Amino acid sequence: MAAKNAARAIDALRRGWPVHVGKGTGMTLVAIETGSAAELFSEGKVKGILLSAARAATLKLANQFAAADTQLPVLIAAPSDLDATLALAIADPSLDLRYPYKGPFAALPLEHAEAAVAAMELAREAGLLPAFLLVDTAAEATLVPDELSAFQDAGALRIAARARLPVSAAEDAELVAYRSTADAADHVALVVGQRDGSPPVVRLHSECLTGDVLGSLKCDCGPQLHEALHQIADAQWGVLLYLRQEGRGIGLVNKLRAYALQDQGFDTVDANIRLGFAVDARDFSVAAQMLRLLSIDEVRLLTNNPEKVAGLEGEGIKVAERLPLKIASNPHNAHYLATKRDRTGHKL
Ligand SMILES: Nc1nc2c(ncn2[C@@H]2O[C@H](COP(=O)(O)OP(=O)(O)OP(=O)(O)O)[C@@H](O)[C@H]2O)c(=O)[nH]1
Ligand SMILES: [Zn+2]
């Protein structure tokens, strides 16, 4: 039941439908980017706007009521001239240069802090900006905050299908597809070669449509993917996990917003924070489960990211060795790579 309510709430938010979040009393919210219907404004149904702490800080609102906890979301009163355009400009930091003059805004006391925090997490799960209209309308779905973690844990992962898949880097390969209730996207593992008794060379690759498919020069994902496949093929036994964690877990649309912020001078870390997300919203426990379903409990891990090593070890997969994955930089990604080294501890 709990997982169903969370799934319904995520679906409703993506469709622009109101969701009630809270135990008993709480807040009825619509996501600004999908649910800013004109009638809500014209009929006076919008009572306020709920923003992430980071967004509120940018709008100079953070501490009016949340002095004790600057990480808490902030509720503001609906400005008298609020319409869909202004709501989106308030919600989306990547539009700040286009709509520089907003406010002043008045913060309201946040009565339902737990519900507000759950709403932020719901937005991330839905791939939406963490910014909501507080509305006075009937809700299409109801979520009690605790139900969200039940939903996120409910991902009993299983292998759904597997088949031989010769690829250009390795002819002797098999693609294994997984399903879980918690993820709409199906993760896959490319298993290369045959078990030889040693720990396999493993790469955890997070989806990057722009880099993997389009050859984006803004990141190192595409070259890393190909280099990893070649190193695994050279080792003759290994696994590439292709994890559907686009944009370090914030989704493609929000990653493009982060790119728009980077074009305004924010680095990859600050762009995520300004959008109201964690610097890295990924959870590597799913990777550990995927390996375990392949009967692998020890790996040689291709990564520069200490969080991946810690994430797997924390889930009981032994990392016998960390193998660096060095890629030459280009003028478009040099700053991104330097930020990963200097701010997120990547060993480059
Ligand atoms: N939010 C956000 N995500 C990005 C950005 N650039 C790349 N990504 C995503 O970052 C992820 C790439 O991470 P990985 O290749 O797994 O690597 P990593 O965590 O840097 O660690 P390595 O194993 O050392 O490569 C992909 O999901 C990309 O879509 C960005 O500027 N912002
Ligand atoms: Zn990338």
Contact indicator for 116, 72 with CB cutoff of 8 Å: yes
Task: Look at residue 114 in the predicted model and tell me its pLDDT.
Answer: 93
Nearest residue (by CA) to ligand 1, atom 13, is 206
Best residue among 201, 220, 240, 248 to mutate for probing ligand 1, ranked by most atoms within 8 Å of CB? 248
Q: So where are the chain's domains?
A: 2-151, 155-245+282-343
- Kindly report the number of other CB atoms within 10 A of residue 329's CB atom: 16
Residue 180 marked ligand-binding: no
Task: Look at residue 154 in the predicted model and tell me its pLDDT.
Answer: 57
Residue 229 marked ligand-binding: no
With a 6 Å cutoff on the Cβ, whether 304 touches ligand 1 is yes
* Per-run averaged pLDDT (10 residues), the chain, 348 residues: 85 97 94 95 96 89 57 92 95 92 89 94 94 96 89 81 98 96 86 96 98 96 97 98 95 96 94 92 92 97 95 97 93 89 84
Show which residues are catalytic: 280, 282
Task: Look at residue 69 in the predicted model and tell me its pLDDT.
Answer: 58
Residue 195 marked ligand-binding: no
Query: Does the ipTM surpass 0.90?
Result: yes
Best residue among 255, 280, 312, 329 to mutate for probing ligand 1, ranked by most atoms within 8 Å of CB? 255
Task: Look at residue 188 in the predicted model and tell me its pLDDT.
Answer: 98
User: Please, is 335 exposed, middle or buried when counting C-beta atoms within 10 Å of its C-beta (0-12, 13-18, 19+)?
Assistant: middle
Q: pTM of the predicted model, to two decimals? A: 0.90
Task: Look at residue 59 in the predicted model and tell me its pLDDT.
Answer: 87
Summarised one tens digit per residue, pLDDT across range 272-325 is 999 999 899 898 999 999 999 999 999 999 999 999 999 999 999 999 999 999
CATH number of 155-245+282-343: 3.40.50.10990
Domain at 2-151, CATH homologous superfamily: DHBP synthase (3.90.870.10)
- Kindly report the number of other CB atoms within 10 A of residue 232's CB atom: 26
First and final C-alpha spacing in the chain: 46
CA of 220 to the centre of ligand 2 (A): 6
